[in-house]
Chains A and B, each alone.
Chain A
Amino acid sequence: MTGWCMRQAILSDLHSNIEALQACVTHAREQGATHFACLGDCVGYGADPVPTLDLLRSLPHLLMIRGNHDEALFQDEDIGVPGIREALDWTGTQLTPTHCELLEAAPYIQTLGEVTYAHASAHDPQAWEYLRQPEQIRACLEATPAHITFIGHVHVPMVFYLTAGDTLREHNPEPGVPIPLSPTCRYVVNVGSVGQPRDGNNAASYAIYDSDRVEVTIHRIPYDYVSAAEKILAAGLSARFAERLMEGR
């Protein structure tokens, strides 16, 4: 992917929230996004798995990564959130074989040139760690030669970087402000969550990566969370999933 100019919208943790995905995709197209990546967790929590996956499939140059909810859809094990097993089983009844193929074909991790894409971490991606501690971030950086690693899973947008002097720092990105990525540093960028933001801001979160300018911008997009929440309640899924959309927690 080096030497090739692209503006890639990186979406993660969609969680069957078509209202949020639609808002992000519309915004990304307005921003001139030519490529799309989805870092996993397309399903779970939300009530619109089919429209979400259909819209996702239609996006140009789509790169798909597998998340823990996508994996749990095809396994019986519990992922530890009350009500999520029922939500995933219900999701399974909604999907067609085409949708299932899309999710099953997604790899855990992919590296293209200077960029690595993973759901939770580049280090042991199937362990589904929540990357918060410095040692976890260092392990993630050591597991890949890439300049930038894009992740999701934690539902909180954040930029971690290792300076030329081997100091690990974090930067809380301002929405809409492009962050230039220095060739002297290495980065782990958490793009936040499209369908279940959890940093106290209920606007959907996604990133645009500009490979030409070597910049990342985190965008926060307000969307119709009331409709999304009503559909969750109407589908008989856990009311807590609906509440979380309003609170952004």
Chain B
Amino acid sequence: MATARKKRAVTPAPHLRPGVKLGRYRVGQMLHEGGMAQLYAVDAKPPLILKVPKLGPDHPASSLVAFENELRILERLRGPHVPKLVAAGDLVHQPYLLLERIDGDALARAAQQAPVSLDTLRDLGVQLARAVQAVHHQNVIHLDLNPNNVRNRADGTMVLIDFGLAHHAGLPDLHDAAFGEEEGTTAYIAPEQLHHVRSDSRSDIYAIGAILYQLATGHYPFGRPNLMSLKRRLVAPPLPPRSHNPQLPPWLQEIILRCLETKPENRYATAKRVAHLLAHPESVPDTRRSHRRQAPGLTVRSRAWARSVFQKFDDDAAQRPYERLTTSPHVLVALKLAHCSESQKEALRRAVRRLALSESKSYFTFVTVVPQADWEQARQQGKRAPDLANLLAMRNWAQPLRLPEVRMVFQVLPGEPVRTLLGYARRHLVDHIIVGARGSSALRRHLGSISAAVAAQAACTVTVVRTRKDVGKGGKTTNSK
């Protein structure tokens, strides 16, 4: 029976060559030839690319599996962070993919020129993490992220390409290590992938860490990509990036090393968390390892080695990527403490505490929006930090929560309150907004309109917090949209 199936599946490679017509398209010159597929230009508006798997006795049988896998996944992915699938050939008779062509290769070029400037690194890192987040949000794990598999559009939006190795949590996984298939790209592959675990979205976080490491230092995290470098990542952390480049800020080293943790559960849970921290370095905790400039001492290394002997990479209780996103929510808490009564402050803290306890991976950005005019005025008066008073007030308010630093970011933003809050929520992919209701009748017009407008316009869940006392005046205790 197995032979019957194979006869059905493996047909000779179709004769798709330059000059051949494919429907209304003409195949152009060959752009690239990889181990599993050939890429051809297709002259169309907008320009397209034709991907043809290499089939037949001289080519790996896994190239058909990779092709089918990519087709299944691209059929299901949407949005600006993946190439559009224009057409696909029949799997059995003439397999091909006709895809949107995206030429930008800013990340690949930066990786070649690495080390790059801190600004470039942060910009590329944030864009990359957003693209990965968008794919995870659709239940897909890429599993082969490397600078050559990331393209960018003219506006800088990153696009992930080559989903041949990817995993869709809602579909049966076609990949099979027993079939001699590759598991990823050596320099960027996560330790659990070496143990054939393909269902953990944090494998992509590891690859983001490896790419950031390369951008920051010009080196791969575990040296030249070879068998030794694969083994090394299972037993020890990489050399600290600051050993290559002592000028790197400690916060960046901390982000990179956390992404490159051997155990998936020690890495950041989501890609958007990485993007958020790259944008807010002040909330990255200062640890001993964030300052380290040499390989960790013998004790640390032997402890890591001993742990690795017993390390298990569990595939059984795998969370679907989308579930992981919902259990690691980014919560925006809008505060206007100068206008809050003590009971309102306590009610807001209770709302935050409930979420912090129920979702242990949640993290919070506390924001106070100040009028643009006040901000400018403070700046003109030469104050070094026009937002200092507000920052201190927020930190003081947050103290009873006893949340670790790593779960909190404090921000003072100038502008019109509703637009500023919603803009921040959109940029940083906030999952939940907590906002206080109008405090007293004197402020009703001012604050009331803010919570109502935020609740009406936000793209995520909004909790409007009211104190018990206000209920008598015609409102509910809390109100979730």
Contacts and interface: CB of A to CB of B under 8 A. Distances in A.
A166 B178 contact: yes
Contacts of A182: 65, 68, 91, 172, 174
Contacts of A159: 172
Interface string A158-195: 01010111110101001001011011111000000000
B179 A165 contact: yes
Contact of B172 (A145, A161, A166): A161
A164 B92 contact: no
Nearest to A171: B172
Contacts of B171: 171, 179-180
B174 A163 contact: yes
B154 interface: no
A166 B91 contact: no
A164 B7 CA distance: 12
A34 interface: no
A27 interface: no
Contacts of A174: 170
Nearest to A187: B172
A167 B178 contact: yes
A143 B173 CA distance: 24
B64 to A, nearest CB: 6
Contacts of B175: 163
Contact of B1 (A163, A185, A186): A186
Nearest to A114: B8
Nearest to A186: B5
Interface size class of B (residues with CB under 8 A): 20 to 34
B71 to A, nearest CB: 9
A184 B68 contact: yes
Contacts of B170: 174, 177
The 4 A-B residue pairs with the shortest CB-CB distance, nearest first, are A165-B179, A165-B176, A165-B178, A171-B172
A183 B181 CA distance: 18
A22 interface: no
Contacts of A184: 5, 9, 64-65, 68, 174
B172 A183 contact: no
Q: Is the interface of A mostly helix, strand, loop or mixed?
A: loop
B61 interface: yes
B294 to A, nearest CB: 44
Contacts of A186: 1-2, 5
B5 A163 contact: no
A145 B64 contact: no
A165 to B, nearest CB: 3
B72 interface: yes
Interface of B: 1-2, 4-6, 8-9, 61, 64-65, 68, 72, 91-92, 170-181
Contact of A183 (B8, B61, B179): B8
B172 A185 contact: yes
A183 B176 contact: no
Interface of A: 141-142, 144-145, 147, 159, 161, 163-167, 169, 171, 174, 177, 179-180, 182-186
Contacts of B68: 182, 184
A216 to B, nearest CB: 10
B61 to A, nearest CB: 7
Contacts of A161: 172
B173 A147 contact: no
Given A180-B72, A183-B92, A164 B172 contact: no
B321 to A, nearest CB: 14
Contacts of A167: 176-179
A145 B1 CA distance: 5
B59 to A, nearest CB: 14
Contacts of A169: 172-173
Nearest to B174: A182
Contacts of B92: 183
B176 A164 contact: yes
B72 A144 contact: no
Given A164-B61, A180-B72, A183-B91, A145 B4 contact: yes
B67 to A, nearest CB: 10
A153 B104 CA distance: 54
B179 A164 contact: yes
Contact of B179 (A144, A145, A147, A163): A163
Contacts of B178: 163, 165-167
Contact of B2 (A166, A171, A183): A166
Contact of B9 (A164, A165, A166): A164
A145 B2 CA distance: 8
A164 B65 contact: yes
Contact of A141 (B1, B61, B181): B1
B315 to A, nearest CB: 11
B65 to A, nearest CB: 6
